[in-house]
Amino acid sequence: MFDLDGTLLNTIPDLGNAVNHALGIRSLPVHEMYEYPAMVGHGIRNLVTKALPEELRADEGYISEVLADFSSYYTAHIDDRTEPYPGIKELLATLQESGCAMAVVSNKFQSGTEKLIRKFFPDIKWVAVMGNQEGMPLKPDPAIVKMIFNSYAGQTGNKEPNAVMVGDSSSDIRTGKNAGIATISVTWGYRPESSLTDADILAHNVEELEEALLKKDI
């Protein structure tokens, strides 16, 4: 199970541009791209809230208005500058050829998650592509993992898969642990390595990630 933003794809340029658009039309201060990695990972409402000046972060109505403008712009520009991390396409192809079942587990809104996966990984036969959906709790709640287990069981009859959660944040680690599965943290994403030490394995590059995922004992 792969996280999306910061793990498979670098989405910061498009996320940052969309937030800056929503801020700029209100003459609010915008942010540099290097500031955005610390804001992402807990859904787009949380991202927009963190980007606002502190005195506006308690105004839920205002946040909703900014979020609407962000969402409209981001939906239209979601893949302008987003790219897979180097080696990710090749990794997924290798895993698929090796018989690994794969799924996406993201806090990005569902339609955006699906659009990016269709564009960048069209040849991968995903068990499930799960983003944030109405009524579904965000990671690190394990509900999304359990839904994927149910989907996988329905497709294969395997009710207890040997599963691993791959992500770039402590939220991904907690998601895996809450679901009772192994965890691998990648260090090329949006969080410092010092925040990832609770993962079962750290992968500093795609080669290390491939080696870890193809081990029989993870």
Residue 218 has pLDDT above 70, yes or no: no
CA dihedral for 143, 147, 153, 158, sign (positive or negative) = negative
Q: Last residue of a domain, which of 62, 77, 92?
A: 77
Same domain, 39 and 114: no
pLDDT at 190 exceeding the cut of 70: yes
Which tokens sit at 165?
Answer: 């959660």
What is the domain count for the chain? 2
Query: In the block, which residue shows the tokens 């040997």?
Result: 162
In a domain, 39, yes or no: yes
Indicate whether 120 and 192 sit together in one domain: yes
Q: DSSP letters of 104-160? A: EEEEEEHHHHHHHHHHH-TT---SEEEEE-TTPPPTTSTHHHHHHHHHHHHHHS-SS
pLDDT in tens, 104-119: 999 999 999 999 999 9
Q: Is 192 inside any structural domain?
A: yes
Same domain as 198, residue 102: yes
Rounded to an integer, the average pLDDT of 185-204 is 97
Q: Residue 162: which CATH number?
A: 3.40.50.1000
* pLDDT > 70 fraction of the chain, expressed in percent and rounded: 99
Q: Which of 77, 111, 135 is the last residue of a domain?
A: 77
Best CA proximity match to 65, nearest among 50, 54, 49 = 49
Query: For position 158, what pLDDT does the model report?
Result: 76
- Residue 141 confidence (pLDDT): 95
Measured between alpha carbons, how far is 171 from 57 in angstroms, rounded to an integer? 22
Q: Where are the alpha helices (DSSP H) in 25-104?
A: 44-51, 60-77, 88-97
Contacts (Cβ under 8 Å, ≥6 apart) of 145: 1, 105, 163, 165, 175, 176, 178, 179, 181
| Residue 106 belongs to domain spanning | 83-213
Say yes or no: 17 and 60 in one domain. yes
- Of 34, 49, 77, the residue that ends a domain is 77
Q: What percent of the chain has pLDDT over 90?
A: 87
Spatial separation of the C-alpha atoms in residues 166 and 150, rounded to whole Å? 19
96 and 57, same domain (yes or no): no
